[in-house]
Amino acid sequence: MSGKPERPSVGLGVIIQRGEQILLGQRKGWQEGFYSIPGGLLETGETFEEGAIREVREETGLELMDPKVIALTNNLETFRQTGRHHISVILYANQFRGEPTVMEPDKCAGWGWYDPRQLPEPHFEASRRGVACLLQGRFYTRD
């Protein structure tokens, strides 16, 4: 056995919008240098919304209100590149309290507000696909 999971894991990504911009961080560690919306893995027994609120609080210090599931991504590019296969549930929130702060300096170099139509590169696949779904008004895209 290779040590890889036999099935995909469930990831969460959260598009947080303020005005015309969305919150992105630059990763450290796994996929270092890639930009991404906040997120992580769903924990056993959590709803998607609970997981999104938890992950955003852990990563940014923001307190989300009423995140909504808007998209689903199957991250096969990442699987081909890294051997990790994630299915990501993408949520959207435009109501929150606080200012983004780097809460996990070993995982994130910094947070900033960006135009979703001009994503910085390199960009994490699940984040890129989730933002594309938001902009296109679609729940899922194959490519």
Domain chopping of the chain, boundaries: 9-136
**Chosen CATH of 9-136 out of 3.30.390.50, 3.90.79.10, 2.170.120.12, 3.90.1150.10:** 3.90.79.10
* Predicted confidence band of residue 141 (pLDDT cuts 50, 70, 90): confident
DSSP character for 43?
A: P
**What does the pLDDT read at residue 6?**
80
Residue 136's Cβ-side half-sphere holds a number of Cα atoms within 13 Å equal to: 12
Do the beta carbons of residue 68 and residue 62 sit within 8 Å?
no
Taking all residues of the chain, what is their mean pLDDT, rounded to a whole number?
94
How many CB atoms lie under 10 A from the CB of residue 94?
A: 15
Integer Cα distance of 9 and 87 in angstroms:
6
Global pTM reads 0.94
Integer Cα distance of 114 and 135 in angstroms:
14
Per-residue pLDDT tens digits for 86-106: 999 999 999 999 999 999 999
Per-residue pLDDT tens digits for 15-48: 999 999 999 999 998 778 999 999 999 999 999 9
Could you give the 3-state DSSP secondary structure of residue 76?
Answer: helix
**What does the pLDDT read at residue 1?**
41
Distance of CA 45 to the CA centre of its chain: 20
